[in-house]
A = this chain, B = another copy of it.
Amino acid sequence: MAVRQDIHNSEIPVLCRACEARHRGVCGALTPEQLVELSRHTTKRKVEAGAVLVSDSDTIDSYANVLAGVVKLTKTLPDGRQQIVGLQFAPDFIGRPFKRESSITAEAATAVRVCAFPKTSLDRMISQAPELGHRLHLQALNELDEARDWMLTLGRKTASERVASFLHLIARHGDPEAESDGEISFDLPLTRADIADFLGLTIETVSRQLTKLRKDGLIAVENNRHVTVFDVGKLERRANI
């Protein structure tokens, strides 16, 4: 994969070249000089599925960008019931600006690559680069829209509609332009347990609804993880979009 060949490319830190976050993510707000400055404190990390990135009620001292893989944001009741309150894909930003404590846990749902940097570095940079603050603001608003969409799903949809909504979410994430009468296939980034935690259901109910979709001829499932949706429009009707 070739690095973009523009004249000033030399100024972009090696670490940041070919990084998606520099284009669509928050780093796109930074000048080459600021990128250099930030990259001085930056580390790329590989994280295996299941590893915890930020733990509930920890004081946060670092932020990160997702470079690859899927990160789940979860909340847990004292007795262990868990709910996924958000999914982060590349090049999403992970972290809660302007607050010392996180109220949620961030955990790798798949193998993940992140680019992590100390909170202080970015916080300092926000005051210098207004565009950076703006991008973070946009991301927060976007996550807010998503959270509220999902509240409707959790509060008012049936199990069948929830599972269809989830498949639709994942499908659309892979191909936002998917024709509503087209076929589309993808790998699920979550286990059944995670899907259940995302949908506010049990593993068994998720499984039953998936087999129902299969028997109704809407989807095919191979090796548990790979899903083909035959008709996105029909799926949307199931999801009550």
Kindly name the residue among A133, A137, A148 whose own CB sees the greatest number of chain B CB atoms within 10 A.
A148
Residues of the B chain whose Cβ atoms lie less than 8 Å from the Cβ of A138:
98
Interface residues on A, range: 35 or more
Q: Mark A173-210, 1 if CB is under 8 A from B, else 0.
A: 00000000000000000000000010110000000000
- Rounded to whole angstroms, the CA-CA distance of A44 and B157 in the bound complex is 38
A4 CB–B CB distance under 8 Å: no
Nearest chain-B residue to A97 (Cβ)? B141
Q: How near does chain B come to A164, taking the closest CB pair, in angstroms?
A: 13
- Rounded to whole angstroms, the CA-CA distance of A50 and B145 in the bound complex is 23
A75 CB–B CB distance under 8 Å: yes
A3 CB–B CB distance under 8 Å: no
Residues of the B chain whose Cβ atoms lie less than 8 Å from the Cβ of A82:
156
Q: Are B152 and A83 in contact (CB under 8 A)?
A: yes
Query: Which A residues form the contact surface with B (CB < 8 A)?
Result: 73, 75, 77-79, 81-83, 85-86, 96-99, 103-104, 130, 133-134, 136-138, 140-141, 143-145, 147-152, 154-157, 197, 199-200, 240
